[in-house]
Amino acid sequence: MKVLTVCVVAALAATAVGSAFAADPDKAVVMRDYTDTVAPAHQQAYEAGLKAYNQCLREHHVKFSEPTVTHETGNDYMYSTDVGPITWADLDTLDTQAKTCDATWRAQGNPHLDGETSAFMVIQTDMSYLPPNRKMQEPPSILHVIDYTLKPGHDASMAFTEAVKKITAAAAKSKWPYYWSTMRIEGGGDGAPDFLLVIRSKNWADVGMEPNPALWKMVAGVYGQTDADAIRKSLNDSIAKAPDHFDKYNADLSYTAGK
């Protein structure tokens, strides 16, 4: 499959450079994620409530888009809505603009929730390999999301950071035609992963395509087999767990600013 294996993508999910964003918040690239769990019997009513909330955002000309995906695997009675990427300062503006619609959500969305979690996702630019024309692309149809929890301790984090930088540099140098984004999780609460990696695909056929060359072959082509093996071992030794799931973009449940 085009999806990177868990032991491979784990390499892309750890970094310590995110602290640079915190030092200069206005330059941060942050996303706000809300993930809702809904009982099967409440799905229709929940979706109606989400559409009503989006309509309120539209009527008040909120300038930040809020795309929504449905979880296609794992717990598939879940929905995730994200805002971003924006700056930390933009979050203050968003709170002000969307406040008027809070009552709509509480009245029409909240009654149908089994639960909701929220977290900030800070994009790690040095650990992400993105297509040059990404800003011109439509929202991807399918997302492969991998959640990473690292083993405790500074050494594991540093090992990830070093390895991810090397893999990202190798992909850029070799112009490897497969892309990912890596985000550090902040404020996710107990049980939240440390990092998240997203691979975007245009359809299921795209998901199923094998990368050519495979990731580790690409890395070995840049650094040599011995160094590639050492990077791989360091990553595998540093990760505690990495569950994954697939999400599908739902235009009917999404709010697009300006439309």
Distance CA 188, CA 119 (A): 4
Percent of the chain with pLDDT over 70: 88
- The per-residue b/e assignment along 57-72, b for 16 or more CB within 10 angstroms, e otherwise, is beeeebebbbbbbbbe
pLDDT of residue 72: 97
- 3-class SS of residue 143: strand
Question: Could you read off the pLDDT of 218-238 as tens digits, one per residue?
Answer: 999 999 999 999 999 999 999
H-helix segments, 66-198: 88-98, 102-108, 154-174
Span 53-112, pLDDT tens digits:
999 999 999 999 999 999 999 999 999 999 999 999 999 999 999 999 999 999 999 999
- Chain-wide mean pLDDT for the chain? 88
Report the predicted TM-score, pTM, of the whole model to 2 decimal places. 0.85
Q: What residue spans define the domains of the chain?
A: 1-18+124-253, 32-118
CA distance 208 to 186: 31
Query: Would you say 176 and 218 are in contact if contact means Cβ atoms under 8 Å apart?
Result: yes
Query: Does the domain spanning 1-18+124-253 belong to CATH 3.30.70.100?
Result: yes
CB 57 within 8 A of CB 102: no
Q: 32-118: same fold as 1-18+124-253? A: yes
Q: Which CATH class is domain 32-118?
A: alpha beta
Asked if residue 21 lies in contact with residue 190, where contact means CB atoms within 8 angstroms, the answer is no
* Pick from 16-30, 164-178, 200-214: least confident: 16-30
- C-alpha to C-alpha distance for 178 and 171, rounded to whole angstroms: 8
